[in-house]
Chains A and B, each alone.
Chain A
Amino acid sequence: MIVLNNINKVFNSGKANEVVAIKSLSLTIKEGEYVTIVGSNGSGKSTLLNIISGAEMPTNGTVNIERNDVTRLVEYKRSKWIARVFQNPLSGTAPDLSIIDNFRLAALRTQSRGLTIGVNADFKKKVKEKIAILGMGLENKTEQPIGTLSGGQRQALTLLMGVMDETKILLLDEPTAALDPRSADIIMKTADSLIEEHKLTAILITHNLKYAHQYGSRLIQMSEGEIIKDFDNQQKKDLPLTDLFSWFI
């Protein structure tokens, strides 16, 4: 569960280039909800996600995750609840490290990393089984540096890495923006099944209105740092795709 209370975020406060990215925004996302957020560039979607992940601190207001006040908690400490997929496929993985090493780190997201070798036969087998689900043939390339893979393959692996360790929340920041349509479809389907299987609370930012319409149990539109539309599951189901397109005209 995520509770945002009266969040404001101002960049370059007091200067000529002052930007109000988020305006007194309050939002409660319940356990297991899958929220898709749409909005034009500069509407504050990414800033909102960054405030939840801890990459940005709000100017004022409070952030609660799983009933903990995390307003001042730094990003890497919030990772015990949150898994993320970034817009840039390069951001979610360490390119020079092998697939297996990347997965090892992901498997230790909420734990301490000790002075023992954790990449053993058992672990390799477990990772291969997980990767095989993607059907991309990557299970035989686990020793290969992850940087040699395509953007779509890396995003798919980042998604899987998100559920290697205990996860409550999955944040997807335009995960398909850099991908071709086919890879994008695979990512969206994989995300959907992982969210369902692991009962995750998820937020998806997307510019793809078809995806926004197809996936998720709640739909939010943002504009100029505020939530201007908030549709629950039923309202979302009743909303024709053409109406959604008309929001942006």
Chain B
Amino acid sequence: MEFYLTALMIGLCLSMMSLGIFITMKIFKIPDITTDGSYTLGAVVTALLLPLQLNPFLVIPVTFIAGGIAGALTGIIHTKLKIDALLAGILVMTALYSINLSLLGRSNIPLINIKTIFSYFHPFNNETYDGLIMAALIVLIIVSLLAYLLKTDFGIAMRATGNSDSMTRALGINNDKMKIIGLAIANSLTAFSGYLVAQYQSFTDINMGIGIVITGLGSVLISTAIINWLGVANIWMQLLCVVIGSIIFQMVLAVTLSLGIDPNMLKLVTAIFVLLIVSIPKFLGRAAG
């Protein structure tokens, strides 16, 4: 049981990143892999600031800004220097590895005996359930804020940019600016995931972000399948599906591990799992067609 609650918790924490990837991949149609770097960046910022006895809630805006800068950099390289988005992301991600390492000073920092965001709220007097409730509350707030943003006039312009750039240009929308802002929002959410996970697992490790983008992609693909299957049109519900996709992804990994697979094989299992999610609908489509 504990095992699946852990998966649920990690799924909730990583759903912020999945929302970020949903924004870049589904709304802007940009393949952004700055994720690996900005996720670690969020965790690094957390590991540096929390031991200073800072209120964890005050660290949240710093995490968002740090991730936002990373995303904006990718956006600027992509739009202003006309460099492929994938390459722009790789460049920033690679640069962030050194930045994260020099900020952290060593390869990992434990966060033990520190007041974290999960130690403020005790409705159950049970560490696991209290943590889950806190994480669920945070997810609910972020999903609501994001859903509101996407419904505003600005949000409609954001959604149109990835959909038809000839149309948005003709309607006076600065596509480059939109993409930069979109990548900044996405990566600030990713950094926020790093912030949550670092506090949940009580340490920040320089390598914790490696391959995390695959987890996010997998979660978004699962959620897209749900969205298409149920025909979810409401943007609020779509974002909620992304959170559910993130939880399902972690649950599947938990099941896999519980079957006794060597943890060293976890990344391989993750990659194969994502491959399956991507390919199964195509096979099914072929069989049906």
Contact = CB atoms under 8 A, between A and B. Distances in A.
B149 interface: yes
Contacts of A55: 169
A106 to B, nearest CB: 6
Nearest to A164: B171
A105 B163 contact: no
B167 A92 contact: yes
A86 interface: yes
A97 to B, nearest CB: 6
A97 B171 contact: no
A105 B154 CA distance: 9
A105 B152 contact: no
A241 interface: no
Contacts of A97: 156, 159-160, 163
B21 to A, nearest CB: 18
A76 B173 contact: yes
Contacts of A86: 166, 170
Contact of B156 (A79, A101, A143): A101
Given A79-B169, A79-B171, A80-B172, A94 B159 contact: yes
Interface in B142-166: 148-149, 151-154, 156-157, 159-160, 163-164, 166
A79 B148 CA distance: 27
Interface in B37-75: none
Given A76-B175, A94-B163, A101-B159, A84 B170 contact: yes
Interface string A104-138: 11101110011111110000000000000000000
Contact of B164 (A79, A80, A94, A109): A94
Contacts of B168: 76, 94, 105
A80 B174 CA distance: 13
A79 B149 CA distance: 24
B170 A96 contact: no
Contact of A113 (B148, B157, B175, B233): B157
Given A96-B159, A105-B171, A116 B164 contact: no
B154 A114 contact: yes
Interface residues of A, number: 35
Contacts of A117: 148, 151-153
A76 B156 contact: no
Contacts of A79: 169-172
A72 interface: no
Interface in A63-94: 75-77, 79-80, 82-84, 86, 90-94
B133 to A, nearest CB: 29
Nearest to B154: A113
B152 A114 contact: yes
A18 to B, nearest CB: 23
Contacts of A221: none
A53 interface: yes
A96 B156 CA distance: 11
Nearest to A158: B167
22 contacts: A53-B170, A76-B168, A76-B169, A76-B170, A76-B171, A77-B172, A79-B172, A80-B172, A83-B170, A94-B163, A97-B163, A105-B168, A105-B173, A106-B171, A108-B153, A108-B157, A115-B149, A117-B148, A117-B153, A118-B153, A119-B151, A143-B233
The 3 tightest CB contacts between A and B, nearest first, are A79-B172, A94-B163, A94-B160
Interface of A: 53, 55, 75-77, 79-80, 82-84, 86, 90-97, 101-102, 104-106, 108-110, 113-119, 143
Given A92-B167, A93-B164, A116-B153, 9 more contacts: A86-B170, A90-B164, A92-B166, A97-B156, A97-B159, A108-B172, A110-B172, A113-B154, A117-B151
